[in-house]
A and B are shown apart, each in its own frame.
Chain A
Amino acid sequence: MVLADAPNMTATALAALGERPPHPWTGQTLSGAQITCASLEAEGVTTVFGYPGGAVIPLYDALPGSGLHHVLVRFEQWAALAADAYARVTGRVGVCMATSGPGATNLVTGLANAHLDSVPLVAITGQVGQPMIGRDAFQEVDITGITLPITKHNYLVQRAEDIAPTIKEAFYLAASGRPGPVLVDIPKNVFVAKAPFHYPATARRAGYQPSTSPNMRQVKLAAEAINRAEKPLIMAGHGIMLAGATDLFARFVERSGIPVVFTLLGLGCFPEDHPLALGMMGMHGHRHVNAALSETDLLVNIGARFDDRATGKISGFIPQAKVVHVDIDPAEIGKNVKTDVPVVGDAAEVLKALTPLVAARRYGQWTGWIEGQRDEALLAALEDRPNHPEPYTIIKAISDASDGEAIVATDVGQHQMWTAQHFGFNHPDRWITSGGLGTMGYGLPAAIGAKLGRPDLEVWTVVGDGGFQMSLNELATAAQENLDINVAVVNNGYLGMVRQWQDLFHAKNYSEVEISGPDFVKLAEAYGVTGIRVKTDAEIRPAIARARSIKGPVVIDFVIEPEANVYPIVPPGASNSDALHRAFDDTDV
């Protein structure tokens, strides 16, 4: 029934939904708090991330009586972001909860993160009691007003009997169409009020009709454009994974023979070790990838939104190409890049319709030309720097040790780009990074969310010493939950990416980027987890092996060259073709 009424669900969300027996509390008169818990259970939620407080005391009173596993974070922001990562690895809706006022405002960054990266999330916040709303009560904020522009939708629930249908609708909106975060704000007295519990089987809104089935006329136009092109290129985005379309995408690539470039969030949707996978595009994209973008005569964008970090200066982006843009959100068509053939629809449905219409081809000359643009010298230089633990080697070593099978979460900055460039992602939903918002501190809570979502997989997080210091209090959460996660701190004593910009574009004016930190090994020990320090290249692989053998959280402090830079880098405001590929000092590559 749910399936029939929600044809626009993403495939993974659909599989997660399935048919469930009615909740055992169905028909009983329950408190709003109990209804909230039962509704989450009726959605198949098992794990929630949160933090209690005044307005949600009734909700936390009901929690132990439910079957939900509540993960007590140390800061609400990381609850939202752990839930975000949980959603990314499971394909299900992530859930976080917080109290009113500061609890709710602390969720804001996490909601914005999920909003920009199209991650399905439901946030439950407590609100002051209805008689107090609008009176500037203790811990009152207008969280629905605050989160209006960073949620797909939000609600202020007015009656206990509205909780179940609201949560039903919230999950439906979060997971269907273009996924996103939905916030449900519930006043304290509504948690306490009683109502009979009936969880609706379906949700529907007249004003919400995501277009999942493509218009066949547009699909045919796209196929014609593809079949005419001589130097086509596929731009693969997050939408392919959100649609659960990675297998369909692989079939499309194999048949069409078109080489693939990835956005930051598209990494993993198609194996990077495949001969047609070229690597990441954009600001820190590989030289041959951005070269291919300059030469291509047809860019087929599937499930990406032409983010400025991917496109560089728009006027210099794909100067010779026509554009086919496949997106489930019509508003993305033509928003940033002029599109010749728009195809609005779910990536899976579009690929099903499109693949049989494209000619089976190989573009030997074109792919040969692209291969010739690879920057072999850069990698050779990276491998020839034994004095410090080389960031490139750290990333390769983690990838090698886990056979490329691990989930890798990152924080934001240089280490994130080194990981994106060099890990080699061959599986969907294992590369967990904050793409759109660039949320520092994401790494550790993301690893926590990822491990709870996929306990069967090895989980690493690569963080910088700056971002780690924003969220390292979550080591306590990881220890309390006894999570087997490995934290690789790429420690340069700087806010490295900002320092790199100041180095390259602001005449080395290092303004407020030197950052001290604790002794991360002692800090780990203070949290009751293992700490390892690595100061030379030779120690990298043994430390990684040791971390993998230890149960529970491990922190490895990799003390790297303080002024190592990420290359290539496209200067701010420049075209991708203007990337810098080397430092001016050639020892710094």
Chain B
Amino acid sequence: MKSAHTLVVLVEDHPGVLNRVVSMMRRRSFNIDSITVGHSEQPGISRMTLVVVGEDDEVEQVGKQLYKLMEVLKVTDLSDQACIAHELALVKVAAKAQHRAEILQIAGIYDARVIDATPASLVLEATGSEQKIDALLAMLRGFGIRELVRTGRIAMARGGTAAPTKGMTTVSNGVGDGAREPLVALTN
């Protein structure tokens, strides 16, 4: 059964890394639902969050192909773990005087902040799951959404460890005992 998998991909922060990842996904016809890239807690290492929709074995193949890229240090599928998966949205919504109170009330329900206001519009900043953002947008659509930007999902496992400790490629795939140990260099 196809489902959305959240992959956290730690990569060396080199020019062209994003290109390598996206190029590989494109050429092998893997479907990227969303992708975000930014700094991680470790200098020189960027963190990508990929949302990939596919069968489990297809997503496993995504992980294996990602590992073949030299810059890729670790791939973790957060789908089976307790994790926080959020995105951020900025919404510019038409807000004439007679609608403003109602919009503010909706924003309150969804914990969205007002970060800009004009006589005719409000810009709201919302964070949370895609479903929450979708629900907020559904509520706002009737007023007229003038502009919208969503970051795509970023995700992190719950619990105390700083970095995901278990990569995607495991012993059950026939990989040697020593392969893909947690990266010592990263945690030192």
Contact = CB atoms under 8 A, between A and B. Distances in A.
Interface string A135-151: 00000000011001100
Interface in B88-135: none
B174 A213 contact: no
Nearest to B27: A149
Contact of B71 (A207, A209, A212): A207
Given A149-B23, A330-B67, A206 B173 contact: no
Interface stretch (B78-86, B145-153, B154-162, B175-183): B175-183
Interface stretch (B32-40, B46-54, B58-66, B136-144): B58-66
A215 B71 contact: no
A221 B97 CA distance: 72
A344 B173 contact: yes
A335 B179 contact: no
B174 A209 contact: no
A374 to B, nearest CB: 35
A335 B61 contact: yes
A215 B175 contact: yes
Chain B residues touching A, majority SS: mixed
A164 interface: no
A207 B70 contact: yes
B16 interface: yes
B180 A209 contact: yes
A215 B61 contact: no
Contacts of A344: 173-176, 179
Interface string A205-217: 1111101111111
A534 to B, nearest CB: 45
Contacts of B178: 211, 213
Given A149-B24, A206-B183, A329 B177 contact: no
Given A206-B12, A206-B183, A333 B174 contact: yes
Contacts of B73: 206-207
A344 B173 CA distance: 8
Nearest to B11: A207
A211 B176 contact: yes
A345 B176 contact: yes
Nearest to B175: A344
Contacts of A333: 64, 173-174
A208 B20 CA distance: 15
A216 B178 CA distance: 11
A533 interface: no
A580 B188 CA distance: 62
A261 B37 CA distance: 47
Interface in A332-360: 333-335, 339, 341-345
13 contacts: A145-B19, A149-B24, A149-B27, A207-B70, A207-B72, A207-B73, A209-B180, A215-B171, A215-B175, A215-B177, A331-B67, A334-B173, A339-B174
For the complex of A and B, the 6 pairs showing the least CB-CB separation, nearest first, are: A342-B174, A331-B64, A211-B179, A211-B176, A344-B175, A218-B174
Given A211-B180, A215-B175, A330-B174, 17 more contacts: A144-B16, A148-B20, A153-B70, A206-B183, A209-B180, A213-B176, A213-B177, A213-B178, A214-B174, A215-B176, A216-B177, A330-B179, A331-B65, A334-B60, A342-B174, A344-B173, A344-B176
